[in-house]
Amino acid sequence: MKKILVTGATGQLGSEFLVLASTYTHYEWTFADRAEITLDNLELLQSQLEKNNPDIIFNCGAYTAVDKAESEQKLAFEVNHLAVELIAKYSAKKNVKLIHVSTDYVFDGKSSIALNEEAETNPINVYGESKLAGEIACLKENPESIIIRTSWVYSKFGNNFVKTMQRLMQERDEINVVNDQVGSPTYAADLGQAMIDIVESSKWIPGIYNYSNEGEISWYEFALSIKEFGVYNCKVGGIPSSSYPTPAKRPSFSLLDKSKIKSVYNVKVPYYKESLKKLFI
C-alpha cells in the first residue's frame, strides 16, 4: 500500500483531502499539520520527512497570508521557498512522487489572455515572489516533480472569500467588492480530485500545470454568484482596486489556461458555478 503524505493538513486543500481519502482507501494517508510537518524549521522538517517515509507527497502547506507577507518576508520565504526546496531534495533522493501547489500570484496581471504554463512570471508582491522561488527550487532540486498553479481557492473549510461573503451578506445591507481583478475561482475539492487523478494515472509527466475552475470573472462577479446561491438580500456594488488599498498588490488579470492538465491527464474541470453551488446544497 502506497503512503501519501499531505502537508498543510488543516488548510482548505488538506481538509478536502481528508474527505477524499475515504474514497481512496487503497492508499495509506498521513495528514500532517504544523506540529507534524514544520515548514519553518528546516532541521526538524528533514527528520519529520524521514520519519514519515512517504511514497507520494502532496505539498499543500504554505504561507498564504498575502498582505502579512509584506512585513513577514523572512517567514514567507522560509515556508514557501526553503521548505519546498528541502522537500524537493528529499523526494528526489528517495524517489518520492511530489505534487507541489503554487499560485497565480507568480504573474504580474498584465496579460489579457489566459495564462499558460509557459507565460512569463513576474510577481508583484512578496507572497508571489516567495511562491515563485519555491517553484524554481522545486524543479531544480527535483526535475521529476509536478507543480500545480491554482487561483482563488475556496472550500467549506478554513477562511476564504466565499465564507467571508456569506457572513457579510448576512450581516450587512450593502457591500462593495473589487471589479477590476479578473481570474477564476478554484473549489479545493476539485483541485484535490485533480491531484489524485494524476497519481491514479498510468503516467507521470513532470513540470508545471494550471488548475482552476472554468469561467472568466471578477471578484465582484464571484460575489454576485455567491449572493445568487445564498439568496441573500444584501446589495453588492463593484469598486476599483484603488478604492480598496491593501498592503500587497494583486494581479489585475490572472486567468489560468487549463489546456495542458486536461490534455495530458484528462482531468475534468467543472465550470465555477457548478462547484460553487455545492457549498449551498
Q: Where are the domains of the chain?
A: 2-159+186-214+256-270
> What pLDDT, on the 0 to 100 scale, is given for residue 36?
87
Set of cell numbers at residue 35: 506540529
> What pLDDT, on the 0 to 100 scale, is given for residue 209?
98
Q: What is the Cα–Cα distance from 172 to 137, expressed in whole angstroms?
A: 45
Q: What is the Cα–Cα distance from 119 to 83, expressed in whole angstroms?
A: 25
Cα–Cα distances in angstroms (integers) from residue 90 to residues 20, 54, 145, 148, in the given order:
26, 11, 11, 19
> What pLDDT, on the 0 to 100 scale, is given for residue 34?
83
Mean pLDDT, consecutive 10-residue segments, the chain of 281 residues?
96 97 97 89 94 97 97 98 98 98 98 97 98 98 98 96 98 97 98 98 97 98 98 97 95 98 97 97 82
Give the CATH fold of the 2-159+186-214+256-270 domain.
Answer: Rossmann fold (3.40.50)
Three-state DSSP at 262 gives: helix
> What pLDDT, on the 0 to 100 scale, is given for residue 35?
84
Set of cell numbers at residue 258: 487549463
Q: Could you confirm whether 211 is annotated as catalytic?
A: no
Cβ neighbour number for residue 205 with a 10 Å cutoff: 12
Set of cell numbers at residue 74: 523572512
Specify the amino acid at residue 20: L
Residues found in the chain: 281
> What pLDDT, on the 0 to 100 scale, is given for residue 281?
82
The catalytic position among 105, 127, 232, 272 is: 127
